[in-house]
Amino acid sequence: MRCEYAWRGSVRSPAVKERQAAIDQACRPGFYKASSGNVKCSKCPPHSYTHQEGAVHCACEKNYFRAEEDPVSMACSRPPSAPRNVISAINETSVILDWTWPADSGGRKDVIFNVVCKRCWLGPRQCEPCRGAVRFLPRATGLANTTVTVVDLLAHTNYTFEIEAQNGVSAQAPTVRQYAAVTITTNQAVQAVSETKTRKIVTPLSTLALRQIIQLPLLSYKTQAEQGDGCVNGQSTPSAVTVIRKDRTSRNSISLSWMEPERPNGIILDYEVKYYEKQEQETSYTILRSKGTNVTLNGLKPDTTYLLQIRARTAAGYGGSSRKFEFETSPDSFSISSENSQVVLIAVSSAVAIILLTVLLYIVISRFCRYSKSKHPDEKRLPFGNGHLRLPGIKTYVDPHTYEDPSQAVHEFAKELEASCIAIDKVVGAGEFGEVCSGRLKLPSKKEICVAIKTLKAGYTEKQRRDFLSEASIMGQFDHPNIIRLEGVVTRSKPVMIVTEYMENGSLDGFLRKHDAQFTVIQLVGMLRGIASGMKYLSDMGYVHRDLAARNILVNSNLVCKVSDFGLSRVLEDDPEAAYTTRGGKIPIRWTAPEAIAYRKFTSASDVWSYGIVLWEVMSYGERPYWEMSNQDVIKAVDEGYRLPPPMECPATLYQLMLDCWQKDRNNRPKFEQIVSILDKLIRNPSSLKITASTTSRPVNLLLDRTSTDITSFHTMGDWLESARTLPCKDAFSGVGYSSCDTLAKTSAE
Ligand code: ACK
């Protein structure tokens, strides 16, 4: 009001005069005025310009446009970038395509997707537009959501789907098509045949036959490495299988098992096992496909040498073939057949004798050897190494504390590296004992690799040095794609260092927070599967982690998650989450099972509880478990039967798995082996992930034996506790129809 008055008045302030002058004047370059009259010149909106005076609008910069209906005051925009992370889940002759929003929407909100279907032939790549009955649900063009179902495809046929992103200005840049493509085959066996040569016999393992193919996207995230330190893995297909073991041989069959490739670079969908008679020189061979890491080759000739190669397949394709392994079937005289009962008798009695001898040997050795002073007081172990006996076929974790001289343990399990082979590039974090750096390791006649280097800061005590190196003694005993790999240690010069493989995306909790809501459920389940597989390996080795949490999982550039943090003193000293309990121990309360908090009962089953918390952290993109509740309140609530509610949009199947991991009775929790197989089944059957916990009635055991409410309504811990006290129990988990791991496995298998 006062301003208006001043304008009308005869005496104008300098500011008012200036403004009036701006209105009266023609606009300067860089400014425009859409209508003449009493309006001020406006600055050109983003991505537009004027070079002349008196402009009534601003022209768009190169490669930027304005849609017809865009006002001149709107920023110029451009077509979106391509959709990302396309996933296809095939079910016989239909496929569900799922993708994520383009990284760049071009500065507009009106992004839509069009799906183009092409039928392709292998060999010289030829495609033609899909004809006939192929149907898209809801439709092929103008999709606002990031999913489409394509039905009525032909069986045994290759298709390429191009998913194009468009916005209101795409029509103005018709030459730039921004699309992501995915190629699928509606029948797995046929695709395999086309890759073999000469006489081919493809034998899908009937019980293991893969009915669905999931094509995970080539995962690539901008990493620290890509930002400048040159540490990019660059590999997308799995590395070669290097360890193959013969388990059993008979006249006509050989059973084999193998280790997962060292770098799976994604989820392994299956393995191709190719074998042939050595004397046939690969002119005729058989191919088997196996979902697991073992296979039995049947129908072989007695006393014959076979050559065999294995390669793993992920969504990125086949990895390199293993070298050729040679195996022989037993000669006729070794056959165990019903006609030769005498041989059977001899074989059985020899086996019994061997078992008895082994047991006897074990008892004698147990008497003489000191039991391991394990860090798990309830779990006694037979030590080996350090002059102790190794029992063949049993690989068990050895507690470095069982060594009188712990530095001996380091040298038994970790390779000593020359400091001159290590180049430190930059500091990436801080550990309990010193800095964590990224760098490179170049060993003689080996390729340079990227590494993480943990250093021991100057002025350490002997105990600190021992504790620091104990992590290497533990890590050095493990060899698994989901466990952080130790490259070696530097102990003979200063600074003392532990060198491990480099994980470009750092800790999982931070990584998830940084990429909030950016992954598909399948990607998250893929990560969780990796963690479960690493934990299965640790529990098989008899190692109890005690501090499994997203902050102790590292992620590489291929989204492979690896369990880390194996320091002996770690749980007591290192973890900022660890708090003192009434019994004096220091424990990361929110991640720890009640029996471990109450009476220090740390077992693989308590690790499973922690895994359930990691599952919750992953599905909530790094949310803090139990939010702002105090440790004391968490202990009390968990003890009273309260459990964390499902994270937003969490599939019901995964929430059920969490609840199973949080069973009060540790014997009722699933084993890591079961968790791996449950997650595998979910990955192979993505529709089982479609029902979210927030859209179903609550699971029966959300609050164990307490009453509760619909889980949709929990937004804060307060809501959850409040409703838990007041509202009546609702239906059981009707949408999914299971309430334990066994039934979960069954449901997802179906
Ligand atoms: O979340 P971050 O970046 O990942 O910060 C922590 C920090 O060091 C202290 O632990 C990072 N870090 C630890 N080990 C590795 C590794 N092997 N590769 C890459 N980063 C690592 C961790």
Per-residue pLDDT reduced to its tens digit, 17-31: 665 555 567 889 999
Nearest-atom number in ligand 1 for the CA of 484 is 17
**Measured torsion, CA atoms of residues 140, 143, 149, 153, in degrees rounded to the nearest 10:** 10
The set of residues, in sequence order, having a beta carbon less than 8 Å from that of 459 and lying 6+ positions away, is none
Distances (CA, A) of 582 to 376, 549, 589, 598, 635: 19, 22, 12, 9, 12
**Euclidean distance between CA atoms 30 and 733, whole angstroms:** 62
- pLDDT value, residue 184: 77
8 Å CB contact between 615 and 647: no
* Helix, strand, or coil (residue 726): helix
Long-range contacts formed by 188-196: CB under 8 A, 24+ apart: 188/213, 188/289, 189/289, 190/156, 191/122, 191/158, 192/272, 192/287, 192/289, 194/122, 194/123, 195/318, 196/274, 196/285, 196/287
Count CB atoms within 10 A of the CB of residue 154.
15
pLDDT over 60 (residue 215) = no
**427 within ligand 1 shell (Cβ under 6 A):** no
The alpha carbon of 381 is separated from its chain's Cα centroid by a whole number of angstroms, namely 32
Task: Please give the distance, rounded to the nearest whole angstrom, from the Cα atom of residue 428 to the centre of ligand 1.
Answer: 6
Are 45 and 73 spatial neighbours (Cβ–Cβ below 8 Å)?
yes
What tokens does 299 get? 């129908």
| Amino acid 286: pLDDT | 78
Q: Which of 76-80, 263-267, 558-562 has the lowest mean pLDDT?
A: 263-267
pLDDT for 221:
29
- pLDDT recorded at residue 582: 52
| Ligand 1 centroid – CA 152 distance (Å) | 48
The lowest-confidence range among 69-83, 244-258, 403-417, 557-571 is 557-571
Residues 6 or more apart in contact with residue 411 via CB below 8 angstroms: none
The number of residues making up the chain comes to 750
pLDDT at 98: 84
The secondary structure of residue 450, as a DSSP letter, is: E
Ligand 1: does its nearest atom lie under 6 Å from the Cβ of 449? no
CB neighbour class for 253 (10 Å; exposed up to 12, middle 13-18, buried from 19): middle
Q: Which residues belong to CATH 2.60.40.10 in the chain?
A: 78-220, 236-339
C-alpha Rg value of the chain to the nearest Å: 32
Q: How far apart are CA 74 and CA 359, in angstroms?
A: 82
Tokens 């990019």 sit at which residue? Answer: 232
Q: What CATH code is assigned to 2-60?
A: 2.10.50.10
Q: How far is the CA of 468 from the centre of ligand 1 (A)?
A: 16
Residue nearest to atom 19 of ligand 1 (CA): 503
Q: Is 547 tagged catalytic? A: yes
**What is the residue with the minimal CA distance to atom 20 of ligand 1?**
506
% of the chain at pLDDT higher than 70: 70
Q: CATH top-level class for 236-339?
A: mainly beta
**CATH, range 78-220:** 2.60.40.10
Residue with CA nearest ligand 1 atom 6: 429
Determine whether the shortest distance from the Cβ of 510 to ligand 1 is under 6 A.
yes
**Measuring CA to CA, which residue among 497, 511, 491 is closest to residue 437?**
497
Q: What's the gap in Å between 427 CA and the centre of ligand 1?
A: 10
DSSP sequence for 134-150: -EEES-SSSB-SSEEEE
Instruction: Measure 170 CA to ligand 1 centroid, in angstroms.
Output: 42
pLDDT of residue 347: 52
What percentage of the chain has pLDDT greater than the value 90?
41
**CA-511 nearest atom, ligand 1:** 1
Is the separation of the CB atoms in 634 and 590 below 8 Å? Answer: yes
pLDDT at site 399? 87
Q: Would you say the CB of residue 224 lies under 6 angstroms from ligand 1?
A: no
310, with CB counted inside 10 A (0-12, 13-18, 19+), is buried
Give 622's contacts (C-beta < 8 A, 6+ positions apart).
Answer: 508, 509, 510, 511, 512, 513, 516, 550
Q: Strand, helix or coil at 170? A: helix
Closest alpha carbon to 190 in 217, 215, 159, 167: 159
Are 372 and 402 a contacting pair, CB within 8 Å?
Answer: yes
Q: Is the CB of 488 under 6 A from ligand 1?
A: no
Question: With a 6 A CB cut-off, is 503 part of the ligand 1 pocket?
Answer: yes
Choice among 293-307, 548-562, 708-722 with the minimum mean pLDDT:
708-722
> Which protein residue has the closest C-alpha to ligand 1 atom 4?
506
Query: Would you say the CB of residue 646 lies under 6 angstroms from ligand 1?
Result: no
The pLDDT value given to residue 225 = 30
Bigger pLDDT: 699 or 350?
350
State yes or no: pLDDT of 553 exceeds 80. Answer: yes
How far apart, in whole angstroms, are the C-alpha atoms of residue 8 and residue 128?
Answer: 73
Q: What pLDDT, on the 0 to 100 scale, is given for residue 188? A: 37
From atom 1 of ligand 1, which residue's Cα is the shortest distance away? Answer: 507
Domain 381-421+436-443+454-500 has CATH 3.40.50.300: no
Domain with CATH 1.10.510.10 in the chain: 503-688
**Backbone φ and ψ of 6, nearest 5°:** -60, -40
Helices and strands per DSSP (H, E), number in the chain: 16, 31
- Residue 739: its pLDDT value, please? 38
**From the alpha carbon of 503, which atom of ligand 1 is closest?**
18
Determine the pLDDT at residue 534: 97
Point out the catalytic residue in the list 425, 467, 547, 660.
547
Whether 63 and 159 have beta carbons less than 8 Å apart is answered as no
Residue nearest to atom 3 of ligand 1 (CA): 506
Under CATH, which architecture does the 503-688 domain have? Orthogonal Bundle (1.10)
pLDDT at 351: 65
Would the CB of 138 count as within 6 Å of ligand 1?
A: no
CATH code 2.10.50.10 region(s) in the chain: 2-60
**CA 409 → CA 93, 370, 433, 454, distances in Å?**
56, 16, 19, 18
Which residue has the CA at smallest separation from atom 12 of ligand 1? Answer: 506
Ligand 1, pocket-test mutation among 428, 453, 468, 574, most atoms within 8 A of CB: 428
Exposed e or buried b per residue across 624-663, where buried means at least 16 C-beta atoms within 10 angstroms of its C-beta: ebbeebebeebbebbeeebbbbbbbebbbbbbbbbbbbbb
Closest ligand 1 atom to residue 510 Cα is 1
Please check if 454 is assigned to a binding site.
Answer: yes
CB-based contact 148:115 (threshold 8 Å): yes
CA 512 to ligand 1 centroid distance, Å: 14
- pLDDT-based confidence at 721, cuts 50/70/90? very low
Q: Which residue's C-alpha comes closest to atom 15 of ligand 1?
A: 452
Ligand 1 atom index nearest CA of 428: 8
Q: What is the DSSP code (8-state) at residue 296?
A: E
- Asked whether the whole model's pTM tops 0.85, one would answer no
What pLDDT, on a 0 to 100 scale, did the predictor assign at position 646?
95
Locate the ligand 1 atom nearest the alpha carbon of residue 504 and give its number. 19
Q: What local confidence, expressed as pLDDT, does residue 116 receive? A: 93
**DSSP one-letter code for 226:** I
Q: What is the DSSP string of 310-332?
A: EEEEETTEE-PPPPPEEEEPPPG
Q: With beta carbons less than 8 A apart as the criterion, state whether 350 and 356 touch.
A: no
Best residue among 436, 500, 560 to mutate for probing ligand 1, ranked by most atoms within 8 Å of CB:
436
619 within ligand 1 shell (Cβ under 6 A): no
CA of 507 to the centre of ligand 1 (A): 6
Does residue 603 sit in helix, strand or coil?
A: coil
pLDDT at 275: 85
Q: Name the DSSP letter for residue 729.
A: P
